[in-house]
Amino acid sequence: MIPDPSFLTVRDLYVQFKTEDGVVKAVDGLSFGLDRGRTLGIVGESGSGKSVTSMAVMGLHDPRYSEVSGEVWLDGENLLTATPRRMEALRGRKVAMIFQDSLSSLSPFHTVGSQIGEVLTKHTGASRREARERAIEMLARVGIPQPKLRVDAYPHEFSGGMRQRAMIAMALVCDPELVIADEPTTALDVTVQAQILDLLKALQEETGSAIIMITHDLGVIADVADEVMVMYAGRAIERGTRREVLKAPGHPYTWGLLASMPHLATDPDSPLRPVRGTPPSLLTLPSGCPFHPRCDYADRVPVDLCSTERPDLHPRTGHSSACYLSQTVKDQIRG
């Protein structure tokens, strides 16, 4: 399970950005892990640090503006101490990323086929012809009709759903062992979202890769994640299996996320139950639990513990939430 996986282990990850206004603590001490063939869903709102985390794993933070510390072990190798050259060799080959915005992540000046093929020529030294063949194969695999024609098309000639498929093809062309998908369906229409999630699942079953699925959408999590990590203000505030986190959430923030999300089973005539207030500024994080200013239950915890001391996840148990509320009180609250 999560605390001791063999494939990917992230330990005490910190990412800070120096800005004119001060130091932004985007990721503030994060540890998690993932096994091959499994999908970890990272949920959080904007500013929770979920994308910054994935960029750190990919080694994409510019050292001039950011400070990254901790350990990111992938298959026995610490990526944070790897040379830029080594990272370049790993990216695209062993670790690949699928971005949210396919229009701005693909080059408008190159054909889709050449962009997919480039990954291959760069990493395997394949000839241009081989690369083209493989690009056609990949386009077919991700379900793009007429791949032999489409391989020579430019991104603007594709619809949003097709571009996202092309990006998945590009990410997967070298059969990476770890795929990071950062909100891969957020920009897509609902009926196309399901297609893309199905596709990712099918490809994972074929290749056995590990997937980190970053999303703000608990519906996507319920659909694809094996394990879930909920992030808030740069930290993991809850983690567990999909069922544990969605069916028996332990953190008031997770409760809030679930309650504020309208779905078809909720009573449409009763008001939604939002989390009050707004997420904290990462420049001046609240003392103690970063969620306590928005939490309705901080007064159920004895002596101002919530506002003075930061709670942590239990390092050894599978399902854990960083909250001082006792299980008895939680059961009372949740009824």
Partner 1 sequence: MAEPLLQLTELTKHFPLKRRRVVVHAVDGISLSIGEHESLGLVGESGCGKSTAGRLVARLQEPTSGTVSYRGQDISHWSRRRMRPIRSEIQMIFQDPYASLNPRHTVGTIIGGPMEVNGLRPTERGIKELLEIVGLNPEHYNRFPHEFSGGQRQRIGVARALALKPRLIVADEPVSALDVSIQAQVVNLLQRLRREMGIAFLFIAHDLAVVRHFSQRVAVMYLGKIVEIGDRDSLYERPRHPYTHALLSAVPDPDPDTPRRERIRLAGDVPSPVNPPSGCRFRTRCWKARDRCALEEPPLVRLGGNAEGHLTACHFPEAPTTHGSDVVLDPALS
Q: How far, rounded to the nearest angstrom, does the alpha carbon of residue 17 sit from its chain's CA centroid?
A: 20
Length of the chain: 335
Given candidates 195, 207, 287, 307, which one binds partner 1 under the rule CB under 8 A?
195
Q: Closer to partner 1 at the Cβ: 63 or 262?
A: 262
Given candidates 58, 220, 289, 306, which one binds partner 1 under the rule CB under 8 A?
220
Dihedral pair phi/psi, residue 128, rounded to 5°? -60, -35
Q: Could you say whether residue 314 binds partner 1 (CB under 8 A)?
A: no
Residue 128 Cβ vs partner 1, minimum distance, rounded to whole Å:
30
Output the six-digit token pair for 220.
Answer: 């996507």
Stretch of 107-115, 131-139, 250-258, 311-319 lying at the interface with partner 1 (CB under 8 A): 250-258
Cα–Cα dist 255/17, whole Å: 30
Cα–Cα dist 142/173, whole Å: 11
DSSP output for 282-316:
SSSPPSSSTTGGG-S-GGGSSTTHHHHS-----SS
Cα–Cα dist 238/291, whole Å: 12
Residue 253 Cβ vs partner 1, minimum distance, rounded to whole Å:
8
Question: What is the x/- site pattern for partner 1, positions 45-74, by CB under 8 A?
Answer: xx----------------------------
Stretch of 32-40, 109-117, 131-139, 264-272 lying at the interface with partner 1 (CB under 8 A): 264-272
Stretch of 54-62, 119-127, 148-156, 267-275 lying at the interface with partner 1 (CB under 8 A): 267-275
Q: Closer to partner 1 at the Cβ: 131 or 196?
A: 196
Identify whether the C-beta of residue 158 lies closer than 8 Å to the C-beta of residue 112: yes
Angle at which helices 112-124 and 160-172 cross, to 10°: 10
In this structure, which long-range contacts are made by residues 61-64, counting pairs with CB atoms below 8 Å and at least 24 apart in sequence?
A: 61/15
Please give the size of the binding site for partner 1, defined by CB under 8 A.
Answer: 45
* Site residues for partner 1 per CB under 8 A: 45-46, 159-162, 189-195, 198, 216-223, 242-243, 246-247, 256-258, 260-266, 268, 271-276, 278-279
